[in-house]
Amino acid sequence: MPDAQLAFVDRCVVIDHGSRPPRARVLALVTNSGWRPEQSSDNEDDKRYGFLAWTENLGFKSHSSAAEWVDRTVGAIKQWPDHKGSLSEHPIAIADSSRELIDVHPALSRSEYLAAIDSAKELIRLGESYEVCLTNRFSVRMPRHAAVLTAQRMRALYLAMRRRNPAPYGALLWYDDLQAGVASCSPERFLRVTPDKTNTVSGDRRVEMRPIKGTCRRDPLADSAEDRRRAESLRSDAKERAENLMIVDLIRHDLGWIARGGTVAVPGLMEIESFATVHQMVSTVCAQLPSDGVGDVGALAHCFPPGSMTGAPKRRTTQIIDTLEGPRGVYSGCLGYFSA
């Protein structure tokens, strides 16, 4: 897969699981055929390279065709079965898929991984880094009858993964042109930019990052005495607190370059949040982005990659990781959306 993959979504179904009963919003974009990028853009690069011209081919060409798609989609949604409980509780072709992952292979053998740890420690001792988030990537070989990856197989694998590891930020992507997909079950939100509701006059935006550093497995009996003991042990663990604090400082530094002066704050430091299978130590760092400053895309580019998966200082540490692990690609990356 490429290092980055973007998609312009001109139609979507957004399901609000928070409402009772859940509500679905069906959205479709209609292209204004009379609009021309050269007429509306003052950016010389846009005019020179036709950067915006591709948008003319997006969306529906008429309101009637968009309305037809919306009506057809709404009709299909009304035919959905009335599930009770989470979708992940319903076995949809997941039993067999969960057993099809065979021959698990680490990218680094045990001896190679231990050698990489020793190398990282030596580089830290030499002052090249404060913290290196070294990982080991695993790959699996599918059985011959399941070797061809399809959207349906990716969905089945994702549902199996979500059933075993429910998380707030689950996601499934499928790119038909690449014949590749991404399945993710993550508890961590990397970055969010929203209008600043405390100061609507200035047009500032609020940026928030919630790094996770520090994890322990939950007791099978949720909220048992043992489960609470594990959470408290994580809260007081000196190593985990040190790692979390270093990433908080890294993120404060990242945001300090793009935020309005004096607005970087840490409203939540080393708080324990409990998920289905793990307790995790989470901090919250936020700031104000001035209306005449960096845009939302620029904020993402400046803060990427997530410090909780790299270490500090970020640039040098990512170079170290690339040497010790090799290119990570989409593994440990992030996915998300921009919305008008």
- The catalytically annotated residue of 213, 240, 314, 325 is 213
Respond yes or no: is residue 47 known to be catalytic.
no
CB atoms within 10 A of CB 183: 18
Respond yes or no: is residue 188 known to be catalytic.
yes
Tell me the two tokens of residue 222: 């949720």
Which residues contact residue 78 at a Cβ distance below 8 angstroms, ignoring those fewer than 6 apart? none
- The catalytically annotated residue of 78, 100, 188, 197 is 188
The catalytic residues are 188, 213
